[in-house]
Structure 1
Amino acid sequence: MSLIVYTVASLFTATALLVFRRPRLALRDPLTASTCVSIFLGGLCFFCSAPVTLGAVNDLTRIPNFGAPMTYSVISAYSASLLILLINWRGGPAERVRRQAVRVITVYSLVITAVITLFALADAPAERLRDLDTYYANTPYMREMIVLYLVGHGACALITIYVCLRWSREVTGILRVGLRLIMAGLAVDVTGFEGAKLTAVAARWAGHDLDRLSTGLAPRAAALGALLCAAGFVLPRLLPAALAQWHSVWDYRALGPLWAELRGVPTAPKPAPPRWLLPRGRLYYRELRILDALLALQSRCDGRVREAAYQRARAQGSPPGEAHFVAAAAMVVDAARQARRPHPAESAGPGGTDRLHTALFSDTRELVRLARALAGSSVVEAARRGAARTAGG
């Protein structure tokens, strides 16, 4: 059991580090900070509840079962962090968000204080690492402590489900998916963890033994529910960034033909991009170099080449939008061909520089379309061989 619990705790820790990858920015953003705190406390709940950890804490403090109020306090803090995270995620006026967060902190601080106080008043000399909830279900003060932490965590789950249900009706897309994952995780938590624990405790009150629900079903349900909740909170924050990086990989590769064509154009020297850059950063560097090369070609761009290429593309059946990029690519290829010549460049001639703007595309999608036209058009290939200039003359 400890291995399973530690594995879940490690997953939570890794997720928290992933969200908290930029500490300075994260601390300035209440939503990111509360997300990290919530995920970290979720992992700490599982770490503290492992029998190995409980035994070590009991031995260290020399207080039998001291790990129980510690774990219950962490669970209560985790419940509070979920509500605070939901408050920050929902947003609104800063004063209202702060006021609601203070209320949650106050309530769960009282719960934690009560848990510790009840444990101090209770008589629980026998160390129980796996079945404390049921073993001490009829012990004064321990009974109240157990019920208190379960009710506090259950109330948090039900409130969060209610808020997420209402909110999910107002939003769409990845945010709705995240809210549904949170509701699914909390539903598993309420039915699997809370339900199993309370049923086992109530069975002890009635003189029956259903401890297997508390020691077997409840921990597994808690792990599954917590992982679903963490995914629901993290997915809307990380998935858009991950998709942006993935799209950057494809855009970077799509710009390869254009960069290969312009690589030999003399420009101001630029430092090589760091190797640790993510795909989005590498795409930025490639776009920057391409735009620098296009600017360097402005005196060589010939509007006659563009016009001839446009007419050829239209004659081949290309729609106006596609023909526009084909013509611009032909003009860029012709200018790059001139730039690679060892002798002085030819004059662009009439209509040259006033067409330069057609070759300058600051938007990534337009640069990609330009690169695809350059790589796949027979008209551009003709310009590369110099046939377009002849037709234009």
Structure 2
Amino acid sequence: MTTPSGLNFYIPGALLFLVACAKLPALLRNPRDELLRSVWVLLVVSTAVFWCCAVPSIAAFNRLTGVPNAAAPLVYTLLTVFSGSNISLIIRWSSGPEDTQRADRWSKRCYMATGVVIIAINVLFLLGDASVERLRDLDTYYASTPFIREMILLYLAAHTTAAVTMTVLCCRWAREVHGELRVGLLLIVGGYLLNLAYDALKFTAIGAHWAGRNWDVLSVTYAASLASFSALLIGAGFIFPLLSQRFMHFWTPWRRYYQLRPLWRELREASEHSMGIGSSARTPIEIRLVQVEADIHDGILTVSPHIDARIRAQALQAAAKSCRSDDEAAATADAAALAHAVSVWRQHQTVAADPEERVNDHNETLSSAHTPTGLVRMSIALSSDVVQRFRRHAAVVESSTR
């Protein structure tokens, strides 16, 4: 519900304004990026919509201009620009590099249609007579006033058309994508479904006024509440994929770094010659990750003469019974063979009865050690029961040979 203080509009507007400020440096660095520019314009327009639709702002604008209800065409204009910006952004967002010209063409048509509606809204207001200030119920109060009535209906028709268009475009695209982009599109769809409910409530209240009934509460209370929440959902839908990409860009290397730590600790003694350049707290995560991977490969190379192909084959047979995929089973077998080799390396002795059975080149045995993903799987598998069993087996063999 719209509050007299307007906080339910000012607070979301302030949040969107902060996001717009955060995006401005990127826009200044890439001024020709159409997608980035469209997102930034959308954020600015969203901020203006929230701030200008609050009751205190409407009253202040009316006083400033000295024209009763002068804020009405301003609010309708901003909402129309918001809808047009959304459609344009979705067109550009969903178009690949090969569709740039088509996206530009449809975006221009969208801007032209938006401009025509905005001009018509303002002209109709100038032709009409809205001399009594109405801060919250202008739609129903002037529902029968010539020209003002047409202005209201034109705005609602354009708003409904934009909502239907966006819902169709986003639903169609959401079926083709996954991940954070799909979540963002579903948020946008949710926002525009609320917009359609908003339009339905407005039309119902106006129709009730024409029928001589007073259903203004549908427009003043319920529709206003839907408007603020829907705009916030739509803005979140556009922002979420961008913020998610930035977060994943930050989170992914850290996650991989910590996933590799068990494997690094397993091989730490075997890679004591490491320079340790990634040990400083100020060292960027990219350098830390490179250093950890280098230490792991050095450790594997050190213990590789003790990697037993037969141990790996036995571990693979055991892992196949409990692992969910062939890749997981292979990583578990590699981790078991490696843990076994580390235990043997610590005692500087071999396990294989026939030295020719022992593999000096680990690349021939450890299939998971060739890729970053494989190293992560091996690191995770070190805590499995299969690996623990073969590590204990190595300890038993070492103690019996002393």
* TM-score with structure 2 setting the length: 0.75
Q: Which residue is 2:196 aligned to?
A: 190
2:154 aligned partner, one-letter code: L
Segments of structure 2 that go 5 or more residues without pairing to the other structure are 321-328, 349-354
For residue 78 of structure 1, report the CA deviation from its aligned partner: 0.3
Equivalences for residues 59-138 of structure 1 within 5 A: 59-92=63-96, 93-138=99-144
Q: What RMSD over aligned residues (CA atoms) do the two structures have, in Å?
A: 4.1
**Secondary structure at 1:328 match in 2:** helix
CA distance in 1, matches of 2:144, 2:338: 83
Q: 1:178 to 1:305 in 2, by over 3 A?
A: closer
The equivalent residue for 2:351 is: none
On the 8 A contact 2:13/2:47 being kept in 1, the answer is: yes
* Amino acid across the alignment from 1:215: V
Contact 1:300 1:338 in 2 (8 A): no
The CA deviation at 1:239 is 5.0
Q: Which residue of 2 aligns with 1:324?
A: 334
Separation in 2, partners of 1:310, 1:185: 55
- Give secondary structure in 1 for the equivalent of 2:58: helix
Q: Secondary structure at the match of 1:120?
A: helix
> Which is worse superposed, 110-119 or 66-75?
110-119
Name which of 246, 261, 272 aligns with 1:256. 261
Measured at CA, do residues 54 and 272 of structure 1 come closer, stay the same or move farther in structure 2, by a change above 3 Å? farther
- Give CA-to-partner distance per residue, 1:33-65, whole Å, 9 cap, x none: 434433442343122110111122233334332
Query: Do the aligned residues in 2 keep the contact of 1:294 with 1:332 (CA within 8 Å)?
Result: no
Cα contact 1:291–1:362 (8 A) shared by 2: no
Letter of the 1:51 partner, please give it: V
Q: Is the 8 A contact 1:330 1:379 kept in 2?
A: no
Cα deviation, 1:274-316, whole Å, max 9, x if unaligned, reads: 66x9xxx74x44431222224544763342344475367469x
> Counterpart of 2:376?
368
Q: CA deviation at 1:91?
A: 0.8
User: 1:269 Cα deviation (Å)?
Assistant: 4.8
Aligned length in residues:
375
Alignment match, 1:342: none
| 1:354 corresponds to 2:361 | yes
The residue type equivalent to 1:106 in the other structure is M
Q: What is the Cα deviation at residue 173 of structure 1?
A: 6.4
- Are the structure 2 counterparts of residues 110 and 248 from structure 1 closer, same or farther at C-alpha, using a change threshold of 3 Å? same
Cα drift, residue 259 of structure 1: 2.9
**What CA distance in whole angstroms lies between the structure 2 residues aligned with 1:126 and 1:72?**
18
Tell me how far 1:85 sits from its aligned partner.
1.7
> For residues 63 and 290 of structure 2, what CA distance do their matches in structure 1 show?
61
Name the counterpart of 1:209. Answer: 214
Deviation (angstroms), 1:197: 1.9
CA drift of 1:96 comes to 0.5
For structure 1, the residue ranges without an aligned partner over 5 or more in a row are 340-348
